[in-house]
A and B are shown apart, each in its own frame.
Chain A
Amino acid sequence: MSLSPADVSRIAHLARIEISASESAQIREQLNAILAFVEQLQAVDTTGIVPMAHAVDVVQRLREDRVTESDRRDDFMAIAPESEAGLYLVPKVIE
């Protein structure tokens, strides 16, 4: 499997990372080298092997339905790049 320039551009858009035209060729080369390296996994027979998502089996814990956190809205808003009246400011999404 080898990525085309169009593939790299599509992946970059999905990942929300702008890639300049000058970076694209080098990134494509490196991604293809990594994909060629991981390609060796395809030779392994994994028929019937249950995928292992975590090293230790865990179950989702439940806790009592009560408030445990204090209101720290101001602290969290204070570190935002732009905020106003308790809201995060971002460019207009809907005209």
Chain B
Amino acid sequence: MIDSSLKELSAALVGKEISSVELTTLFLDRIEKLNPTLNAFITIDREKALSLARAADAKLGEAETASPLTGIPLAHKDIFCAQGWRTTCGSKMLANFVSPYDAHVVERMAAAGMVLIGKTNMDEFAMGSSNETSFFGPVKNPWDLARVPGGSSGGSAAAIAARLVPAATGTDTGGSIRQPAALCGLTGLKPTYGVVSRFGMIAFASSLDQGGPMAKSAEDCALLLNAMAGFDARDSTSLDRAAEDYTLELDKPLDGLKIGLPKEFFGTGMAAGVRAAVEDALAEYRRLGATTVEVSLPNSNLSVPVYYVIAPAEASSNLARFDGVRYGHRAAEYRDLIEMYEKTRAEGFGSEVKRRILIGTYVLSHGYYDAYYLKAQQVRRLIAEDFRAAFASCDVIIGPTTPTPAFRFGEKSADPVQMYLSDIYTIAVNLAGLPAMSIPCGFDAGLPVGLQIIAPWFAEAKMLNVAHRYQQATDWHRRMPGGIK
């Protein structure tokens, strides 16, 4: 049962092969057994989860109130506020914060009847590519406990890979759904900016942050995205579009599909094992009827420096709210208000968060705004225009998700710039606001490799179709870490 797809779980629940309470208990027991090793969860609440499961069982008894996700356990990344649940964002600053309201995503998953089982560990305020910056300790990669699961949604990724939960939410500001999905052998989808509401998702960089689903397969992600996506008047950047069924195009043949291969993604810097797995995947796509064409994203090499101006700038503004006055940590000793702020923030934030706030404060400060922030926003437009031009000659763009498989703990943590470069293939997508996903496409020395599929704006259904057809022809997404039983 732990290896089943969401569709299979739904069929089992509807067919009364198992109740939601039994299914939830199965996963809770697994979490209890394996979480001390993996540290994938920050908060687990057995009583709350079982109470939600009982409500789901009642819904399942009345066919008209059930959805295809009713009764299925789900974990939320601890960046999503959930009423009555501790919501820490991986930070000491919010270690004692119990949310008084639900994020839009949390409301929607609850409305679909999903059973919230716990909150997953993450890099502090979603700042990181390795899950080493959480106040609650690092998450271990189930494929190799000496290696990182990726960040910042690494807790969600590790939890699904180890089958502690069948699906989870993540957020992606520079690759934080796709990169951990790649390093843990999962399917993770970052929607077009604005398709999923950011209301109640603790903000890091507002013009880049986007919530999305993480699961074992594209089909599972399509079902989850159906529940997550939708207009929300409380988020001024939420897009008012007609509801879409992302499962409708899944089975369409890929005959005639034109895949764009950006020459900049296939240069140096990619590990040989990653290159081999990606090339095998492209051969599989050709067998499925697709053709490939070389495209160019000439400014993509600038995406990481652009990101490390824009994201810290927005973070420095968003994180100003954590001042010890209305919620969260407050320093115990101070002489005046300014010292209370300064000590509170020095104690509450970890070093990566402080570093980004300081960079953001600097690039927005008087005399430097034009040289850094404005310049980065101009280059951002060039990057987005590169994608627009590339999509004139292809339907989707495919390449590696990450340059290497999962790296060892501590390998990059002393050098922030090296760490930032682990998101080199993912960041441009966030700057342009495009949808993209990572699917497993092979292994490099026993570690999963991710294939990134990037689609034009709002072409999530096409992108899921491209991913699903590949997953029907291959079984990489069904592999499970051997050491985790």
Q: Which of B104-112, B287-295, B352-360 contacts A (4 or more CB under 8 A)?
A: B352-360
Whole-angstrom distance from the CB of B292 to the nearest CB of chain A? 27
* Contact yes or no, B382 A46, CB < 8 A: yes
* Contact yes or no, A61 B236, CB < 8 A: yes
Once bound together, how far apart are the Cα atoms of A8 and B340, in whole Å? Answer: 20
6 interchain residue pairs of minimum CB distance: A55-B433, A51-B377, A46-B378, A81-B330, A52-B381, A18-B346
Tell me if A86 counts as interface (CB < 8 A to partner B). Answer: no
List chain B residues, Cβ under 8 A from A8.
358
List chain A residues, Cβ under 8 A from B325.
80-81, 88, 90
Question: With A44-B302, A49-B378, A55-B384 in contact, do A91 and B337 touch (Cβ < 8 Å)?
Answer: yes
Interface of chain A, helix or strand or loop or mixed?
loop
Tell me if B61 counts as interface (CB < 8 A to partner A). Answer: no
Closest chain B residue, CB of each to CB of A20: B346
List chain B residues, Cβ under 8 A from A54.
193, 207, 237, 433
Closest chain B residue, CB of each to CB of A37: B417
List chain B residues, Cβ under 8 A from A27.
354-355, 358
List chain A residues, Cβ under 8 A from B316.
15
Closest chain A residue, CB of each to CB of B346: A18
* Contact yes or no, A15 B361, CB < 8 A: yes
* Contact yes or no, B380 A52, CB < 8 A: yes
* Contact yes or no, A81 B324, CB < 8 A: yes
**Other-chain contact of A55, B341, B379, B431 (Cβ < 8 Å):** B431
Give the number of residues in B that approach A within 8 Å (Cβ atoms). Answer: 74
Tell me if B266 counts as interface (CB < 8 A to partner A). Answer: no
Whole-angstrom distance from the CB of A92 to the nearest CB of chain B? 8
Tell me if B69 counts as interface (CB < 8 A to partner A). Answer: no
* Contact yes or no, B365 A16, CB < 8 A: no
List chain A residues, Cβ under 8 A from B340.
90-91
Whole-angstrom distance from the CB of B319 to the nearest CB of chain A? 9
Whole-angstrom distance from the CB of B376 to the nearest CB of chain A? 6
List chain A residues, Cβ under 8 A from B97.
79
List chain B residues, Cβ under 8 A from A90.
325, 337, 340
